[in-house]
Structure 1
Amino acid sequence: MNYNTTIGLKIKELRTEKKFTLKYLSEETNLSIGFLSQLERGMTSVAVDSLAKIAKVLDANVLDFFDYPDEINQSCVTRSYDRKYTVIDSEIIQYTLNKDTFTYDMLPRIQEVMPHKYNEPEEIELYSHEGEEFIYVLEGILTLNVDNNITDLYPGDSAHIKSESPHNWSNNTSKLVKILTVNTPNPLKK
C-alpha cells in the first residue's frame, strides 16, 4: 500500500488551515522546503520519525495521515500473509509484524533494504529521535552508522541503540539486506 498521495494531501490541508508556509514548516521540522513540497504533491515518501515531526508542528497525530479500517482483529497472531507493507522509497520495503500497530508500546518491523543504486557507498544522513531501537540482521550485510562509528553487521548480528544518538543504516552491497527492527516508543501509537 502506498500512502504518499494521501499523506501529502493531508499535510498540505493541515498546513494551509494553520496558514503555515512551507518555509515555516521546514524551519520547525528541519526538513528541506523542496522535500516538503515534493511530499505534499505525493512525489516522495517520508520516514515515520519525520512524519512525527511534521505532525507535532501541525498539532496532529501521526495516525491522522493514514486511512485504516475501523475494525481491528483482536487476535494477537499476525500471519505472514496478513502483514501490512509500505514502500518507503525505491530502496526500502517495510512490513509491520503486528495487526494493531497503534496500541502497543513497541513497533516491530521487517525491513527489506535493496542494494544501493550506485557503485559507491551511500552517504546516509544521520538522525535522532526519542526512545530505543533494536536491529537484528536476518540476511545480507547492513552498514550501521551510530555517532559516525560505522560498522558492518552480518546475519545473526544485532545492535541496540539509544535513539537520541545520531544514527542510520544502509545497504552498500549488491544483494538484498533483510533486518528485524523494533522501536520504542511506537511512533504510531494512539
Structure 2
Amino acid sequence: MDITKDFGIRLQEIRKAKGLTQAQLAEMVDLEITTISRIENGSRFPQKENIEKFVEALDCNIKDLFDFDYIKNKDELRAYIDKKLDEASLNDLQFYIRVIDAHLETRK
C-alpha cells in the first residue's frame, strides 16, 4: 500500500466528483496547480494544513480523503477507472477492451 499514491487517487476522485478542475481546487486551497498535480499523481504527500484545506474546499470529511477502498458514486468510479487506464500499457488496454466486449456479449 502506497499511501501517497492512494491519497492522490482519492483526492482526484473527490475533486472530479465535485466537478472541479485542478486549477479551481488550487485556487480554493491557495496552492499552485503543479502542487495539486504532484499530489494527485502520487509524487507528493500534502502537509497537514493542506489536508485540512482540501476537507474544507471539497466539503468532505477527512476520512473521505483516506477512504481508498470505497467508491461512492458513478463519477468517482469513472475517475478511478480513468486513473488506472492512464497508467496502463497498450497491451493492457487492448486486454481490457476484450474483457469488456466479452462481458457485454454475455449480457445480450
TM-aligned CA deviation for residue 2 of structure 1: 4.5
Give the aligned partner of residue 38 of structure 1.
Answer: 38
Deviations along 1:122-160, one digit per CA (max 9) or x if unpaired, are xxxxxxxxxxxxxxxxxxxxxxxxxxxxxxxxxxxxxxx
Q: Deviations over 1:88-107 (max 9, x none)?
A: xxxxxxxxxxxxxxxxxxxx
1:15 counterpart residue number: 15
Matched, 1:24 2:42: no
1:60 aligns with 2:60: yes
Cα deviation, residue 65, structure 1: 2.0
- Identify, as 1 or 2, the structure richer in strand: 1
Q: Deviations over 1:11-64 (max 9, x none)?
A: 100111111011110111001100100100111111111011011111111122
Amino acid at match of 2:60: A
Separation in 2, partners of 1:41, 1:63 = 20
Unaligned runs of 5+ in 1: 69-190
The 1:20/1:67 distance shift into structure 2, 3 A limit, reads closer
**Paired positions, count:** 68
Higher relative contact order (CA 8 A, sep 6+): 2
TM-superposition CA deviations, 1:59-97 (whole Å, max 9, x none):
1111222259xxxxxxxxxxxxxxxxxxxxxxxxxxxxx
Normalised TM-score (structure 2): 0.57
Identity %: 29
> What amino acid sits opposite 1:37 in the alignment?
S
Unmatched runs of 5 consecutive residues or more in structure 2:
69-108
- Give TM-score, length-normalised by structure 1: 0.34
CA distance in 1, matches of 2:15, 2:59: 10
